[in-house]
């Protein structure tokens, strides 16, 4: 399974997957953040460390921030904006999925090490 995840992660590193702003006039931040979130998630699946999980959370938060940004958020302070994003239904759903995936990965690693 990890070979397939490695192949997917390597494919995400390709210029064909994550768009470059020079090719699209600079209007690709949401796509770039989503692509980086996928890349970081695959990276964390290969080697789940606290830092890699933090990297995933940061990328997901940036993706949600770009997706949900509107005029009302421009008047918010940084902390208030972060709290609004953390409460957003997309953020809650994605964080729950990530937590479930990392819990399964941890259970797999524990079971695997118990067999050795």
Tens of pLDDT, residues 23-79: 776 567 777 888 888 888 888 888 888 888 888 888 888 777 776 665 566 677 778
Quote the percentage of the chain above a pLDDT of 70. Answer: 84
- How many CA atoms lie less than 13 Å away from 75 in the CB half-sphere? 2
60, 68, 5: which is closest to 33 by C-alpha? Answer: 60
Q: How crowded is residue 22: how many other Cβ atoms within 10 Å of its Cβ?
A: 8
48: region left, alpha or beta (phi > 0 left; psi from -120 to 50 alpha)? beta
Per-residue tokens: 13: 């590193």
What is the length of the chain?
Answer: 116
14 in helix, strand or coil?
Answer: coil
- This prediction has a pTM of 0.55
The whole-chain average pLDDT of the chain stands at 77
**CA 85 to chain centroid:** 14
Question: What pLDDT shows up at residue 32?
Answer: 81
46, 15, 16: which is closest to 55 by C-alpha? Answer: 46
Domain count, the chain: 1
Question: What pLDDT shows up at residue 31?
Answer: 79
Question: What pLDDT shows up at residue 13?
Answer: 74
pLDDT at 92 over 60: yes
Question: What pLDDT shows up at residue 82?
Answer: 75
Quote the percentage of the chain above a pLDDT of 90. Answer: 0
Question: Is there a contact between 12 and 38 (Cβ–Cβ < 8 Å)?
Answer: yes
Enclosing domain of residue 8: 2-115
């Amino acid at each position: 399974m990890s070979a397939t995840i490695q192949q997917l992660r390597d494919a995400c590193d390709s210029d064909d997957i994550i768009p470059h702003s020079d090719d699209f006039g600079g209007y690709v931040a949401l796509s770039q953040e989503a692509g980086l979130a996928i890349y970081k998630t695959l990276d964390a699946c290969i080697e789940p460390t606290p830092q890699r999980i933090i990297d995933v959370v940061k990328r997901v938060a940036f993706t949600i921030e770009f997706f949900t940004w509107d005029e009302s958020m421009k008047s918010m302070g940084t902390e208030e904006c972060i709290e609004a994003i953390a409460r957003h239904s997309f953020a809650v759903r994605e964080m729950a999925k990530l937590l479930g995936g990392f819990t399964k990965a941890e259970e797999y690693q524990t079971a695997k090490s118990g067999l050795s």
